[in-house]
Amino acid sequence: MKARIIEGCIGCGLCADTCPEVFRMADNDLAEVYGDITDETADKAKEAAESCPVSVIEIDET
């Protein structure tokens, strides 16, 4: 399972707060994916994607 952030992040930080094991805020104040989604973090990563106010987080479950 992989996460990616498509263009349009507004830098709100919600994903990094929700799932800091996978998402963090980069030097440009936008979110980035830096960790792999594991069995332990899958639910939080999905929650971060669903909670994103601009819907720019995609989770590939394959």
Full 3-state SS string of 12-41: CCHHHHHCCCCEEECCCCCEEECCCCCCCC
Nearest to 1 by CA among 48, 51, 58: 58
Residue spans of the chain under pLDDT 70: none
State how far the Cα of 3 lies from the Cα of 57, in Å rounded to an integer.
7
pLDDT digits (tens, 9 = 90+) for 25-39: 999 999 999 999 999
Claim: this prediction has a pTM higher than 0.85: yes
According to the model, what pLDDT value does residue 62 have? Answer: 76
* The residue type at 4: R
State how far the Cα of 26 lies from the Cα of 61, in Å rounded to an integer.
24
According to the model, what pLDDT value does residue 48 have? Answer: 98
According to the model, what pLDDT value does residue 61 have? Answer: 86
